[in-house]
Structure 1
Amino acid sequence: MKIAVLGTGGGARAHIARLAELGHEVHVGTRDPEATLARTDPDMMGTPPFGSWLAEHPGVELHTFADAAARGELVINGIDGHNAVAALSAAADQLAGKTLIDYAVPFLYNPDIEHPWPTPWGVMPTLDPCDRDSLGEQIQRALPRTKVVKAFVTQEQDTVVDPKAIGGGDHTMFVAGTDPGAKQQATDLLKAYGWNDILDLGPLVAARGMEMYAHMHSAIGFALGFGTHFGIKVVR
């Protein structure tokens, strides 16, 4: 299958590598391919430059967001939440009729707030939108011809693509969206990644809960030790 991954950060790279391993034709989208390949410094999270990483993954092609979206039969959004709606809107025609799996979190970094949350790497970003709306819903409104599914967002992406690395895979992944066929595509991909427990949360409005969980995920991670990977399970 031809799958487009929009974004070049650490999370996107986890999907790119795993999809290629599974035999898919992977097309990667970035704002400016030449600029992306020219970078020589790590990003804000310490991730090495994409050009050197790409050289170690032959067969993966780098394009603009729109060109990658045009080539993909299924699209995964890993664009940072603050810029996702604008970047995806510019590729609306290329995304029309396709399933877009969105795992972005609407973080606003370095917030100027009265009671900041200190973390091992600085101040915790705030969420915008939060509670009254979600990034997933904003993307769907901006792209009415695209079938948006919110998924992957409650886990580190390294764990999304390899769930068995934590507890033998005995934990839960969530999906939400309006189109049943699109949710089935997301579910099928999760099963290919190795997930056995996938819980459908219903319509896309449930993206609000998944995105707001990002802070709880961080809090658990800090309690376990920064950098510790873990899973969560819904016990029925």
Structure 2
Amino acid sequence: MKIAILGTGAGARQHAARLSSLGHQVIIGTRDPKATSARTEPDMMGTEPFAVFHAAHPELTLVTFAEAADAGELVINGIDGANAVTALAGLPASVLAGKTLIDYAVPYVHQQPGGPEHSWPTPWGEMPHLDPVDTDSLAEQIQRALPETKVVKTFVTQEQETVVNPAEFGGGDHTMFLAGDHEDAKTDARELLSSYGWNDIIDAGPLAAARGLEMYAHFHTALGIALGTRFGVKIIR
């Protein structure tokens, strides 16, 4: 299958490498392919320049967001939460119409004017706040911006290293969640998760449930700091 990944960050690279190893044709989208390939410094999270990753995976194609979305039969959104809606809404409507878009972005806001009202320091700096939160979600904003696209929220409750390799913990015996308003798109997401090795996949309901999945990011971060490691979550029922 031709799978488009929009974004070149650490999470997008995890999916690109794993999907390629599974035999998919992977097309990666970025705002400016020449600029992305020319960068020589790590990004704000310390991730190595994309050119280094691309050299290790020359089978991957790097093009613009629009070209990647147009080529992909299935599209994964790895654009950061602060810029995802603007970037996706700016694409020609036709390139995503009728397609499944899997969104795993967290709507983090890293720069807060005047600083946060109540500080939450972490080992890597101040914890960003979520926006939207509670009464809306990033996934719903994307769906409203792309009414002809079938948006599914998933992958968001785990670090992407674990999403693509659930066997990292407990032999893969832990839980992944998804939410969306289109059953066929949920099936696409479920099949992709199964190919990664997920066996316990819970359908959390309509896309409005993405609010809970996105807000879980803070709890997951708190536990990760407390444990000092990545981990998996198992729902016992």
Matched, 1:141 2:144: yes
Note if contact 1:117-1:124 (Cα within 8 Å) is conserved in structure 2: yes
Q: Distance in 1 between matches of 2:111 and 2:96?
A: 32
What is the distance in 2 between the residues matched to 1:224 and 1:29?
A: 34
Where does the alignment leave 5 or more consecutive residues of structure 1 unmatched?
none
Return the match for 1:153 from 149, 152, 156. 156
1:167: Cα distance to partner? 1.2
TM-score (norm 1): 0.98
Q: Which residue of 2 aligns with 1:34?
A: 34
Q: How far off its partner does 1:6 sit?
A: 0.5
Alignment of 1:56-135 (within 5 A): 56-91=56-91, 92-111=93-112, 112-135=115-138
Alpha-carbon distance in 2 for matches of 1:93, 1:206: 27
Tell me the alpha carbon deviations over residues 21-67 of structure 1, each in whole angstroms, 9 at most, x when there is no partner. 00000000001001000100000110000011101102100011010
Percentage of pairs with the same residue:
68
- 2:215 equivalent in structure 1: 212
Aligned length: 234
Q: Which runs of no fewer than 5 residues in structure 2 stay unpaired?
A: none
Quote the residue 1:233 is aligned against: 234
Paired residues of 1:28 and 1:61 also in contact (CA < 8 A):
yes
Please, what TM-score do these two structures have when normalized by structure 2? Answer: 0.98
Partner of 1:198: 201
Runs of 4+ in structure 1 off by over 3 angstroms are none
Kept after mapping to 2: 8 A contact 1:110/1:124: no
2:82 partner SS: helix
**Whole-Å separation in 2 of the counterparts to 1:87 and 1:94:** 13
> What displacement does 1:110 show?
3.4
Separation in structure 2 between the aligned mates of residue 51 and residue 90 of structure 1, nearest angstrom: 26
- Residues 6 and 76, structure 1, Cα contact 8 Å, conserved in 2: yes
> Distance between the aligned counterparts of 2:14 and 2:121, measured in 1?
28
